[in-house]
Amino acid sequence: MNESPGAVGAGRIVDTAVVREAGPVRIVDIREKTVPIQADMSNAFINFSKMTVSVLALVTDEVRDGEPVIGYGFNSNGRYAQGGLLRERIIPRVLAAEPAGLIGAHGDLDPELIWRAAMTDEKPGGHGDRGVAMGILDMAAWDLAAKLAGVPLNRLLSERARDPRTPATPAERVWVYAAGGYYYPGRGIDALQAEMRGYLDLGYRTVKMKIGGAPLAEDLRRIEAVLDVLPDGCDLAVDANGRFDLEQALAYADALRAYPLRWYEEAGDPLDFEELRALAERYPGPLATGENLMSFQEARNLVRYGGLRPDRDILQMDPALSYGATEFRRTVTMLFDSGWNPDRCVPHGGHQFNLSLASAFHLHGCESYPGIFEPFGGFADGYPIEDGHVRLPDAPGIGLEQKASLGPVLRDVLA
């Protein structure tokens, strides 16, 4: 058993696993556990005191170094755990699938085939929480596929899931920015400034803060206070979490254009493309949105109808919340076909799965949540942020075992 920090030993499973004699690897068990990631902080729309995450383990009969090979997945923060959907529909379909039907051209378990089995008898539309549940399963399927292939996920995705227009090898480092600046009870501007200084000390060059949870004048004071602590070469993005109607979105836009913001995020409802279009006509700076689009089809509607500008705006679709990497590869192709370069994408989510996708598909970057949404947020231990960029570990899979604080949570799914 690997005793390195963060190793996810699962001896108990070895005892019960059907150890394979010959033939392709089989999935022998799928476990889901709902865990809290509560924090008494708020964006303009929700408070996170009751936030939860589903952690899922895909257990195989492949044993290496005395341990079964297991793929792990979880959802990004902001959408709740999906135990119901997973346990009632998605997991039983994968377990009921003919094992040989899940083996792809590479002779191993294929995430695309697992995805299709899980979506059996699901009608089009109605994405929402189903996209989240599928994202959790798909993350585990890709973690598993990369572990079985013995390569880091960014390399596997680059080899097996890359659009031909994407560079042939994964990016070695990815631009990341620190997302924080939430509203906390009784918290003043000094604490906000201290939080942002902390991100700069960690090596970040771009920080993000919440707006829309306070009156405009107060938000402008908060923004100016953060800009005051940012040295040259650093910048600030702001995020309204879909709080504003058109009138409010435009009032903020008119005030925000006085500041050199990196972007103005999710002003209005994620599906109100008419509001977004009007905002894009009025606000000259970069806009960002997409984290609450839960499917390829919704992302396509954003590109078709949202009035966004491919030369400056940022797309934040989060693969972990929207049917996974298997679906995101289709989104990448759709973007190329629509005259967008995927390097306008900066996925929401702040974890290693999306970081691997950003590297494999040469996206502009990836979100990061230093110190919040732990232990799910954040990257591998020993990979510091350097001048706003991070490198990826060279271990098989997503690299979740390279983050010691995740170990107990992953082990617990199997308990």
* Cα end-to-end distance, the chain, whole Å: 17
Q: How far apart are CA 288 and CA 253, in angstroms?
A: 13
224 labeled binding residue: no
In this structure, are residues 135 and 349 in contact, taking their beta carbons and an 8 Å threshold?
no
Residue facing Mg ion at closest CB distance? 239
Count other C-beta atoms under 10 Å from residue 191's C-beta: 11
Residue facing ligand OAA at closest CB distance? 78
Binding test (CB under 6 A) with ligand OAA, winner from 32, 110, 235, 239: 239
Q: Which is nearer to ligand OAA, 130 or 348 (CB)?
A: 348
- Of 33, 127, 147, 348, catalytic: 348
Burial of 260 (C-beta count, 10 Å sphere; 0-12/13-18/19+):
exposed
Q: How far is the CB of 359 from Mg ion (least distance, A)?
A: 21
Task: Compute CA distances 357 → 58, 69, 341, whole Å.
Answer: 20, 22, 15
Beta bridge partners of 34: 54
Burial of 201 (C-beta count, 10 Å sphere; 0-12/13-18/19+):
exposed
341 labeled binding residue: no
Q: How far apart are CA 371 and CA 288, in angstroms?
A: 23
245 labeled binding residue: no
199 labeled binding residue: no
Question: 294 in helix, strand or coil?
Answer: coil
Q: Which is nearer to ligand OAA, 24 or 285 (CB)?
A: 285
Question: 352 in helix, strand or coil?
Answer: helix
Q: How far is the CB of 78 from ligand OAA (least distance, A)?
A: 4
Q: Helix-strand-coil percent breakdown of the chain, rounded to 5?
A: 40, 20, 45
229 to 268: interface string for Mg ion, x by CB under 5 A? ----------x-----------------------------
362 is an interface residue for ligand OAA by CB under 6 A:
no
- Pull the structure tokens for residue 131: 């996209």
368 is an interface residue for ligand OAA by CB under 6 A:
no
67 labeled binding residue: no
Task: Give me the sign of the Cα torsion angle 126, 130, 134, 136.
Answer: positive
Check whether the bond before 375 is cis (ω within 30° of 0): yes
351 noted as active-site residue: no
Q: How far is the CB of 240 from ligand OAA (least distance, A)?
A: 9
Residue 367 near which of Mg ion, ligand OAA, none (CB within 5-8 Å, type-dependent): ligand OAA
Q: Which is nearer to ligand OAA, 111 or 181 (CB)?
A: 181
195 labeled binding residue: no
Q: How many amino acids of this chain bind Mg ion (CB under 5 A)?
A: 1
Residues within window 171-190 making contact with ligand OAA, judged by CB under 6 A: 179
In this structure, are residues 299 and 293 in contact, taking their beta carbons and an 8 Å threshold?
yes
Q: Which is nearer to Mg ion, 127 or 348 (CB)?
A: 348
Q: Which is nearer to ligand OAA, 350 or 407 (CB)?
A: 350
78 is an interface residue for ligand OAA by CB under 6 A:
yes
182 labeled binding residue: yes
According to DSSP H, which parts of 150-245 are helical? Answer: 153-160, 189-202, 216-229
3 labeled binding residue: no
User: Hunting for tokens 């009751």 — which residue is that?
Assistant: 50
Question: 296 in helix, strand or coil?
Answer: helix
Residue 158 near which of Mg ion, ligand OAA, none (CB within 5-8 Å, type-dependent): none
In this structure, are residues 178 and 207 in contact, taking their beta carbons and an 8 Å threshold?
yes
33 noted as active-site residue: no
Q: How many amino acids of this chain bind ligand OAA (CB under 6 A)?
A: 8
Q: Which is nearer to Mg ion, 53 or 156 (CB)?
A: 53
318 is an interface residue for Mg ion by CB under 5 A:
no
Binding test (CB under 6 A) with ligand OAA, winner from 61, 62, 195, 367: 367
Residues that bind Mg ion (CB under 5 A): 239
Residues that bind ligand OAA (CB under 6 A): 43, 78, 179, 239, 241, 291, 348, 367
Which residues belong to the active site?
210, 348
